[in-house]
Structure 1
C-alpha cells in the first residue's frame, strides 16, 4: 500500500466544520497501518494545535508526528540555508511559525533582521506592511511560507498568506522564495519523514495549483477532492489533471490508489 500524504484545509475540514466522510477516512488510515502524514500550508498552528483541533472535531488516535506544516518546512529550510550563529527574522504570522523558528535557533527582531518571513496572519495591518517593506528594502531576504491566496472556511473563504505576499511584493518589487506547496521541497520533506519514495506516495488535496501540481511534479500519484477550493469547472482550466477525483475523502478506497 502506498504512503498517504493528505492536505487538511478543504480536505478534512473547512474552518471549524468537519467535512463529511473525513472521520471515516482517518479511521481507515489508522486501521490500514499505511504510512500517512497530514501536510498543510497552514503556518499558524503547531502539530499539537492541529491534533487538538481534530480531536475537538471528533477525530482521535493521531499524534504530533502525523503532521508537517509550512511553518515546520520553512524553519527546516532556513536552518539548512543559514550560516550565521544568531540568525534573526521579522515575522508576519502566528505563534506556530514563531515557535518553529525559535526551535531552530532564530531570534525575532525588527532591527535589521536577516529575513522577513510572511505567513497568514489574522492581525495583518498597515504598520506590519510598512515595516516589512522597509526591512526588505534594506536588505532582508523575503520568504513566504506558502502561496495560497484564500483559505476555505465555513460559508466561503478568507485571505491567506499569498494575499499579504502579493501586497509586499508589489511595494518592494521583489518576489519571495516560497517554501510550502507547490514547492517540491515541501513534498520531499514529507516523503522523507514518511520513509517512502515519491512514486510510492499519494498526494490528496483540494487545490489544483498547490496540492495536485506539487504532487505531480514530485512524481507522486495525485487525488483531488472537490470539498475545498477546486470545482470540476475550475479544474478544467488547468493544463494538467489529477490521477483520481473524489467528491470528498469519504469516497476514497485506500487499496485502489
Structure 2
C-alpha cells in the first residue's frame, strides 16, 4: 500500500525501557520486504548513535544510523536554513546539545542568536532565567517539540512542550516548534527517506503529534493504540486517522 514508513519511537516501538514486542516484528517485516523506513522522533535527549545502540542492545532491533531522524537533527537543519547566526543557548540534554554544538554553533548565554528549549530532566530556575532574558533581548526562540508528555513505564511524564510553555509564559514570546506535528521536521524527513508525501504513512501512538503530523501535512497516518492516545478516545477525535490498529501486529502490508 505504501512505499515507505515514517515511524515514531516512544509509545510506538517502546514504552520507556519496555519493548512493545509487536513493534519489533513490524520493523523486521519492513526490513524483510525491503521497504524504506525512517524513525522520526521528537526525542531530543539521546544522540542518534545512542538510540541506535539502545534499539539493538535493549530491544534486539538492528537499524542503520541513517534511519534515525530526531528533532535535534531537524532543529539543526532549521537553524542552518534560518541563518541568523552561529551562537545558541540550549536547554536540553546531550542529544540536543551535541547536535547543535557539534554542527558548529557556539554556546552564548548572554546574547545568542537562538534559544533552543528541549526536554531537560535537570532543568533549574537559573537555566530558565538565562533563556528568558536572552529571548527578551531578541534571540530566536525554538521549541524542539510540542509534546506536553512522554509515555514511560511509570506513566505520562512532563515532556519538552511543558518546558517550552514555561519559558513562553515568562517571555510572552511564541516559539517556533520543530518536532511533530510541525511541517519543518516532516518536510526534512521526506527528503531523508527520498519519497513524496503521497508515498508514505506516518505511524505513531500520539494523535496530537504523530497523527497530526500526517493530517496537517498531507500524509497518510496510522494510529497504534499502544501509547499516548487510548482506544476510548478514537471515536471523538476531530479528524480520524487514515488507519487505526490496536497494535502493529494488526497491520497488513498487502491490503
TM superposition score normalised by structure 2: 0.96
Could you tell me how far apart the structure 1 residues matched to 2:21 and 2:173 are? 41
Q: How does 1:41-120 map to 2 (within 5 A)?
A: 41-84=42-85, 87-120=86-119
Cα distance, 1:83 vs structure 2? 4.5
Partner of 1:151: 150
Structure 1 segments, 4+ long, off by >4 Å, are none
Could you tell me how far apart the structure 1 residues matched to 2:186 and 2:90 are? 24
Cα distance, 1:225 vs structure 2? 0.5
Could you tell me how far apart the structure 2 residues matched to 1:221 and 1:155 are? 31
- Is residue 26–residue 59 contact of structure 1 (8 Å, CA) maintained in 2? no
Could you tell me how far apart the structure 1 residues matched to 2:228 and 2:101 are? 32
Cα distance, 1:237 vs structure 2? 3.4
- Is residue 79–residue 104 contact of structure 1 (8 Å, CA) maintained in 2? no
- Secondary structure at the counterpart of residue 69 of structure 2: strand
Partner of 2:34: 33
Partner of 2:120: 121
**Total equivalences in the alignment:** 254
Unaligned runs of 5+ in 2: none
Could you tell me how far apart the structure 1 residues matched to 2:7 and 2:177 are? 20
Unaligned runs of 5+ in 1: none
- Is residue 109–residue 131 contact of structure 2 (8 Å, CA) maintained in 1? no
Partner of 1:186: 185
- Secondary structure at the counterpart of residue 213 of structure 1: helix
- Is residue 20–residue 250 contact of structure 1 (8 Å, CA) maintained in 2? no
- Pair 1:207 & 2:206 matched: yes
Could you tell me how far apart the structure 1 residues matched to 2:202 and 2:127 are? 35
Cα distance, 1:125 vs structure 2? 1.7
Could you tell me how far apart the structure 1 residues matched to 2:6 and 2:204 are? 9
Q: Which moved more, 1:7-16 or 1:154-163?
A: 154-163
- Secondary structure at the counterpart of residue 5 of structure 2: strand
